[in-house]
Amino acid sequence: MTTTASPATFPTPRNIGKGKPARFLVHSGYVTVRSVRSLLRQPTFAVMTLIQPIIWLLLFGQLFRNVIHIPGFTTASGNYLEFITPGVVVMTALFSSGWAGTIYIQDMERGVMDRLLASPVSRGAMIVGTVAYQSITTIAQTVVIFVIAYASGARFPGAAAGIPITFLAACLISVVIASFSDAVALLLRQQEALIGISQAIILPLQFLSSAIMDTRVAPAWVRDVARFNPVDWAATASRAALSAHTDWGVVWPRLGLLLALSVVLGWLATRAFGNYQRSL
């Protein structure tokens, strides 16, 4: 049919539709690679992504150093830096992932979104690609936070299991928030609206949790709200896992809830493509 001799295999009615699960993973990989490559091509942004959690760790670590002396504040070691390290990990994941949807908005403003949606890439793979990219960012940021925390003298008796669990909890929060951000981007299709909604939700999620403050010293209603806050689940589970005598009854249910919530939000974000396409 074509005149150019090429050994390539092009789509024909016979060779399409094979190996669907494998194709899903491969496509997710391509979408992830694209985002990571874009990040590395913007060195200032990439460096700031890693510097910001350091600022938070050191700034909050100094600013609120004396909160541990408030009666009722419970820490295993009496060291605030050790208390907020998992909190800053979760907070960093939360703030970075809130921006996930901006990639979609940029793609919509260009013709990239339309091209991808008219190609064989599945909607699920597009969501998995963006949340995987956010998780990679979160892992890099978490590494930096632990390095700085150790360098500043923090020690975590439960580190052997606690550090992997902190990474897991942070990644799950990334998936939850990035999926939410993607869904908002697809539903509202506007950068300003996405920023507004993200900020309206992220700050309360952050402060109505035990990320930087023990909720036991907060008003009772804050404690009640925190029980339903995924950011609190992640911070509490990580902190418990890093402590000397880990109460696994605190860790596993919260990780389970985070996992369930990531699946639900990932699915909802995938459904939001339908809403976007109805607007076309």
Partner 1 sequence: MSTPRATALNAADLVKTYPGGRGAPPVRALDGLTVQAASGSVLALLGRNGAGKSATVKILTTLARPDSGHASVAGIDVLRDPDRARHFIGLIAQKSSSDPLATGRENLVLAGCIQGLSRADAQVRARELLDRFDLGDAADRLVRTYSGGMARKLDVAIGLVHRPQVLFLDEPTTGLDPEARAQLWAEIGRLSKVEHTTVLLTTHYLEEADQLADRVAIIDAGRVVVDGTPDELKRDLRGDSVQVDLAAASQAALPALRRVTGLRDIAADGARLRARADSGAHAVPAVLAALDAAGVAVASVTIARPSLDDVYLRHVGRAFHDQTEEAAA
Residues that bind partner 1 (CB under 8 A): 1-4, 6-12, 15-17, 23, 26-27, 30, 33-34, 37-38, 41-42, 109-112, 114-121, 277-278, 280
Write down the least CB distance from residue 130 to partner 1, Å.
14
> Toward partner 1, which CB reaches closer, 245 or 278?
278
Q: Identify which of residues 3 and 221 has a Cβ nearer to partner 1 in the complex.
A: 3
- Write down the least CB distance from residue 3 to partner 1, Å: 6
Name the residue among 69, 213, 239 with its Cα closest to residue 157. 239
At closest approach, how far in Å is the CB of 64 from partner 1?
38
Cβ atoms of 89 and 145 closer than 8 Å = yes
Distance of alpha carbon 12 from alpha carbon 171, whole angstroms: 39
Distance separating alpha carbons of residues 192 and 134, to the nearest angstrom:
21
Least distance (Å) between residue 129 CB and partner 1: 11
- C-alpha closest to that of 150 among 57, 47, 246: 57
Angle between the N-to-C axes of helices 191-207 and 230-242, in degrees from 0 to 180, rounded to the nearest 10: 50
Least Å distance between CB 197 and partner 1? 20
Q: Closer to partner 1 at the Cβ: 17 or 253?
A: 17
Task: Please say which residue, 107 or 259, places its beta carbon nearer to partner 1.
Answer: 107
Minimal distance, residue 31 CB to partner 1, in Å: 9
Query: 187, 170, 167: which is closest to 268 by C-alpha?
Result: 187
CA distance 186 to 87: 30
Are the C-beta atoms of 212 and 88 separated by less than 8 Å? yes
Q: What minimum distance in Å lies between the beta carbon of 29 and partner 1? A: 9
DSSP state of 70: S
Task: Considering the complex, state which of residue 115 and residue 216 has its C-beta at the smaller distance from partner 1.
Answer: 115
**Toward partner 1, which CB reaches closer, 8 or 151?**
8
Q: Please, what's the largest Cα pairwise distance for the chain?
A: 81
CA–CA separation, 226 and 103 (whole Å)? 30
Nearer to partner 1, 112 or 250 (CB): 112
CB 180 within 8 A of CB 269: yes
d(CA 252, CA 50): 29
